[in-house]
Amino acid sequence: MMTTEQFYINGRWVAPLSSDVMDIVSPGNGAVCGRVALGSVADVDLAVAAAKRAFESWSQTAPAERRAVLERIVEIYARRSNDIADAMMLEMGAPKTLARGAQAGVGLGHLKDFVRAMDQIHWERPLFQGDTENHIVMEAKGVAALITPWNWPMNQVTLKVGAALAAGCTMVLKPSELSPLSAVVFAEILDEAGVPAGVFNLVQGTGPVVGERLAGHPDVAVISLTGSTRAGIAVTKTGADTIKRVGLELGGKGANIIFADTDVEAAATQTAQHMFRNSGQSCNAPSRMLVERSVYDRAVAAAAAVADQVKVGRPEAEDTQMGPVVSAAQHQRIQSLIRKGISEGAVIVAGGPDNPEGLNDGFYVKPTVFSGANNEMTIAREEIFGPVLTIIPFDDEAEAVAIANDSVYGLAAYIWTGDSERARRVSRKLRSGMVRLNGSDLPYGAPFGGFGQSGIGREGGVWGIEEYLEVKAISGWIAA
């Protein structure tokens, strides 16, 4: 059992003003594994007030001073990486190898990159008009409300907190109530690193209470949310009343285009492995595999073989490759969408509805592959957020691009081709914030974000820090 019944406000762990609590349910066995306190409007107000007080001094610190704080956070995070991983394994069912590898590791990677990115920001620079010197200053925007999801907890927490700290903003973090434990460990890390009181505050709670109050609070200047499109719309509407800057990283329905002039089996295999990683609970997952018709059957067979070989099991087992999905509600939704795919005429070539054998006491889903699909089917249009891969044929390049772009989302896209000119040409045509060519990955510091209903703004590196900065122009500057 792990409980998190205190909030971190103004540099101290404090008791909530509300008595509301929620059980934390382990996805691995469906049993209660802890309890989280749910914040109230009054708790949020205390945290925002602390952040507002701290902003006056923190926003005026030299970049080198903020950089030194980030460096201390990096050092302590590395030391406590296994504590973070263990929390994620319990709260969201991440397999042990994934939790200790990518899930914890990605947070450390982002924090290290923000240290580097700080040296690339032009905090102050001249702007000349003839002989007259003017001055451009980049300043912290204000108090930031940071609302993070459950699927990659430390990925999103570090992308937001690291950037806001680097920029000179103060903040209130509201993690998902489904993954509150890792955020507590992260708060302990910042406390040990000596982040000044009030700069970082943590309030647990639900979106309709804590999230809504943060979005509408008159003293919050920036909202950064990672979550569903529905949540993004609600936060944007609420924040509009006080003219807040809103950054959104929302859903995706990634198109993965495989042309016949590539190693088809390798492309389909890597795509399926990526799709089933983290139980398919990734907004940038390549959930739509578009395959040139002449090699379609080969790609289907390769993807099905991956699904059949994935070891689904308990999060704590060393050999588990794919664990459960995060909650009973998510499990039910995924099973419903798998059945919807069957009813609409798609063909299951691997997996299917119902739990894997022997795993009936948790929220487990079979790695599932659909063939015979088209882009009008529900499984091709809705973000399933589970281990479900939909494979669609195309006849030529123009049709592949048309299918890929026929989505309300535009977060991540993938292209496999042996023709470098085609790779460049198609990547420019895709309406997507990120495009990965031939199995490549984006480095730390690359801008993460999308087009359309996948969101607004970018996270990571220089682009992520700039989301928390305001531009000030000063005329008639008097040089020192």
The Cα angle at residue 204 between residues 203 and 209, in degrees rounded to 5: 95
CA distances from 215 to 69, 220, 222, 258 (A): 27, 7, 9, 41
In this structure, what token pair is assigned to residue 176?
Answer: 């998902």
Active site residue 71: no
Sign of the CA dihedral 262, 263, 264, 267?
A: negative
CA 458 from centre of chain:
11
Dist CA 84 CA 103 (whole Å): 9
CA distances from 397 to 91, 291, 295, 440 (A): 43, 10, 14, 21
37 close to 4: Cβ distance less than 8 angstroms: yes
Interacting residues of 351 by C-beta distance below 8 A, sequence separation 6+ = 307, 338, 365, 366, 367, 368, 369, 387, 388
Active site residue 249: yes
Name the strands in the sheet holding 21-25, side by side, starting at the edge strand that comes first in the sequence.
2-4, 32-37, 21-25
Sign of the CA dihedral 109, 188, 11, 38?
A: positive
Question: Parallel, antiparallel, or unpaired for β 434-437 and 409-410?
Answer: unpaired
Kindly name the residue from 33, 91, 169, 249 that is annotated as catalytic. 249
Kindly name the residue from 91, 169, 283, 466 that is annotated as catalytic. 283
Dist CA 21 CA 205 (whole Å): 9
Active site residues: 249, 283
